[in-house]
Amino acid sequence: MHVNGKVALVTGAAQGIGRAFVQMLLEKGAKVVLVDLNREFEPQRTIFIQCDVADQEQFEGTFKKAVEHFGKLDILVNNAGVNNEKNWESTIQINLTSVIRGTYIGLEYMKKGNGGDGGVIINISSLAGENILCLNICSFLTLIKKSQSTLNFLVNILSFKAKSNTA
């Protein structure tokens, strides 16, 4: 996909890997919707939407606002994540449930027949959960990938690549 002129939504965009995604997308000419709990990044061609991705209503609202603002959505980076073993329920909510939910919402907004033109969904994962959570999410995303393959979609998960590298 050529990134120039595309509209991307990046969760966890305020710092770390998400921030690097934003910088790369801007350098390549994209417009970017930054979704995070914290507001730290305000370059041109962006809007910032404060959102807890674990809050379904808020998260759905960010997609609506993004498309209202930029007119479309082409790229989704589900990157927001935490590493908090003590609050494991919240961690699962953010790192797993919200990624699956975000993927479904992204598909709705990007699919042909619903105003979209296909697109790319990038889900960031961790090798640390490879044997448990990542296997579940890989199976889930494989199903989505197959079911949406005729709709000009690319759904990716980094642990696919990581897994094949370590196999």
Ligand X SMILES: NC(=O)c1ccc[n+]([C@@H]2O[C@H](COP(=O)([O-])OP(=O)(O)OC[C@H]3O[C@@H](n4cnc5c(N)ncnc54)[C@H](O)[C@@H]3O)[C@@H](O)[C@H]2O)c1
Residues 6 or more apart whose Cβ sits within 8 Å of residue 162 = 125, 127, 130
Task: Tell me which residues in 100-139 interact with ligand X (CB under 6 A).
Answer: 124, 126
11 versus 148: smaller Cβ distance to ligand X: 11
Q: Which of 46, 62, 79, 91 binds ligand X (CB under 6 A)?
A: 79
Q: Which of 8, 22, 34, 53 binds ligand X (CB under 6 A)?
A: 53
80 touches ligand X by CB under 6 A: yes
- Site size for ligand X (CB under 6 A): 22
The span from the CA of 103 to the CA of 53, in Å, is: 12
The span from the CA of 58 to the CA of 49, in Å, is: 10
**Smallest gap, in angstroms, from Cβ of residue 112 to ligand X?**
29
How deeply is 167 buried, as exposed, middle or buried, from its count of CB atoms within 10 A (0-12, 13-18, 19+)?
A: exposed
Output the DSSP codes for 41-75: ---TTEEEEE--TTSHHHHHHHHHHHHHHHS---E
37 touches ligand X by CB under 6 A: yes
48 versus 152: smaller Cβ distance to ligand X: 48
**Dihedral Cα 144, 98, 85, 50, nearest 10 deg:** 150
Within its chain, how far is the Cα of 118 from the centroid? 14
151 versus 162: smaller Cβ distance to ligand X: 162
- Choose the binding region for ligand X from 6-14, 105-113, 132-140, 143-151 (rule: CB under 6 A): 6-14
18 touches ligand X by CB under 6 A: yes
Residue 159: enclosing H or E segment and its boundaries? helix 158-166
The span from the CA of 7 to the CA of 5, in Å, is: 7
76 versus 124: smaller Cβ distance to ligand X: 124
Q: Which of 31, 36, 138, 148 binds ligand X (CB under 6 A)?
A: 36
**Which residues lie near ligand X (CB under 6 A)?**
11-12, 14-18, 36-38, 51-54, 79-82, 94-95, 124, 126
